[in-house]
Structure 1
Amino acid sequence: MNPNDGFRELDREECLRLLERAPIGRVVHTRHALPAVLPVNFCLDIDSAVLMRTSADSELAAAIDGVVIAFEADEVDATAHSGWSVVVTGRATVVTDPVEHGRLTRIGPRSWVASPKEVFIRIEPELVTGRQLVAGRTVYGVDLSS
């Protein structure tokens, strides 16, 4: 990153710590050979995998099972011109093991839309990157917000 662009690169631990407090993220995958982005609620598992819960019959579950995807979450303060963004890239898999499904039912995210049959999707965090806006609207000591 350019040291003068107002952003600070975040290390993996900082990224994961920020993700723990974010309630909503976005799944980025391919749909009909085009990029698709869907907002989802999520949580992190004890091994830092991103966990989502959705209908077993959902288009999302079918589209991303076994595929490398991106997951992004952020927090922005438009008034203060500050915030952060974290991207997790990794393989998504639908959890099929009954014991693991039972564990995730107890600790995993709750679906916002009830479904008769739900599945958990794990995204293994192979690459975790992030950046934080640290300068706001100030560049070279000059306030640009007015």
Structure 2
Amino acid sequence: MVDDDRSNVPETHRSAELDGVEALRLLGSVSLGRIVFTRHALPTVRPVNHVLVDGDIVIRTHGDAALTRYTRQTGGEGAVVAYEADDIDPDTHLGWSVVVTGYARLVTDPDELARYRALLRPWVSERMDQAVRISPDLITGVRLTPHDPASSA
């Protein structure tokens, strides 16, 4: 059984929901995140770098990557994925986290693919010759801030 008695926990932090515009702005301010997709009917998480383009998240991948195979199986319909990025200070535990849920599609247009290759530098040694574009359907986020005791008086 989990003890959820928080009476002894000091009120040092607050969480505030972010609106979609602010959440995407913050997501665009960092270059690393985590893609979540289904592999063999189980959730799979991979760290990736990204760039925000016209409100969509673009990541580079390679032809044999699990994510590439997953998105290829869905054809043009897209594969349901989640994407998470954050910037939380490990000492103060202050910062933010954003989760985007949407459809991921392989980029097949050669000009668009060349554009994304120029924008995103691979950070692993594999040949990253593919790109996946995630169109957000649901954008959620939270900001962790210091608690101001005066505001609750």
TM-score (norm. length: structure 2): 0.79
Identity across aligned pairs (percent)? 45
Q: Measure, in 2, the Cα distance between the counterparts of 1:69 and 1:96.
A: 19
Match of 1:98 in 2: 110
| Higher radius of gyration, 1 or 2 | 2
- Alignment counterpart, residue 36 of structure 1, candidates 44, 47, 58: 44
Match of 2:96 in 1: 84
1:31-76 deviation per Cα after TM superposition (whole angstroms, max 9, x unaligned): 111111111111111x111010011221221123421110000011
Q: Measure, in 2, the Cα distance between the counterparts of 1:101 and 1:67.
A: 19
Q: Measure, in 2, the Cα distance between the counterparts of 1:51 and 1:34.
A: 23
Match of 2:86 in 1: 74
- Alignment counterpart, residue 61 of structure 2, candidates 54, 64, 71: 54
CA contact (8 A) 2:60 2:128 kept: no
Q: Measure, in 1, the Cα distance between the counterparts of 2:144 and 2:126.
A: 38
The runs of 5 or more residues in structure 2 that have no matched partner are 1-10, 73-77
Q: CA deviation at 1:113?
A: 2.3
CA contact (8 A) 2:39 2:66 kept: no
Amino acid at match of 2:23: C
Q: Measure, in 2, the Cα distance between the counterparts of 1:92 and 1:105.
A: 17
The runs of 5 or more residues in structure 1 that have no matched partner are 142-146
Match of 1:112 in 2: 123
1:78-97 deviation per Cα after TM superposition (whole angstroms, max 9, x unaligned): 22221110011110001011
Bigger shift: residues 88-97 or 112-121: 112-121
Match of 1:132 in 2: 143
Distance 1:78 1:117, change over 3 A: closer
Q: Measure, in 1, the Cα distance between the counterparts of 2:128 and 2:51.
A: 20
Classify the secondary structure of the residue corresponding to 2:136: coil
CA contact (8 A) 2:60 2:117 kept: no
Corresponding pairs, count: 134
Between structures 1 and 2, the one with greater helix share = 2
Classify the secondary structure of the residue corresponding to 2:24: helix
Match of 2:5 in 1: none
